[in-house]
């Protein structure tokens, strides 16, 4: 993935949802030889994101000791507008350029807003 190919962050929300909290779930598959460098990169991107208006916290779910090296990061924002400001920022684009060589594939981003944060999708429900 190149920085110009960064995924667009979208959420199917109505106009009122711009004041509802948003959670972005980001997944990175890290190359086996790049785990330490990725951890150092995480230590830099998390405070950079926290400095953006509307950022409400982040949680990193690290992979287990065996198997795939998939990191899942949940970033919370006060609204979709604040989330988009971070994801479309020059700061994030530059940091993602630095991360590209560490990743085994493209990053995946999924956003949840409003009531989606409280209710689980049932079987057969569409996934965005």
Q: What is the pLDDT of residue 6?
A: 46
What band does 116 get if pLDDT is binned at 50, 70 and 90? low
Q: State yes or no: pLDDT of 43 exceeds 90.
A: yes
pTM score: 0.75
Residue of 24, 103, 118, 114 whose CA lies nearest to 71: 103
Tell me if 109 sits within 8 A of 28, measured CB to CB.
Answer: no
Say what percent of the chain tops pLDDT 90.
66
Domains detected in the chain: 16-117 (3.30.70.100)
- Is the pLDDT higher at 114 or at 67? 67
User: Span 65-78, mean pLDDT?
Assistant: 93
Query: Residue 21 pLDDT > 60, yes or no?
Result: yes
The alpha carbons of the chain give a radius of gyration, in whole angstroms, of 15
């Amino acid at each position: 993935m190149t920085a110009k190919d960064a995924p667009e962050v979208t959420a199917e929300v109505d106009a009122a949802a711009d004041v509802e909290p948003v959670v972005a779930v980001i997944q990175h598959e890290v190359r086996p030889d790049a785990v330490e460098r990725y951890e150092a990169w995480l230590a830099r991107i998390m405070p950079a994101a926290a400095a953006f208006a509307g950022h409400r916290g982040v949680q990193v779910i690290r992979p287990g000791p065996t198997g795939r090296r998939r990191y899942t990061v949940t970033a919370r924002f006060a609204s979709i507008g604040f989330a988009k400001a971070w994801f479309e920022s020059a700061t994030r684009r530059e940091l993602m350029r630095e991360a590209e060589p560490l990743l085994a594939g493209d990053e995946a981003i999924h956003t949840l807003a409003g009531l989606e944060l409280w209710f689980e999708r049932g079987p057969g429900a569409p996934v965005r």
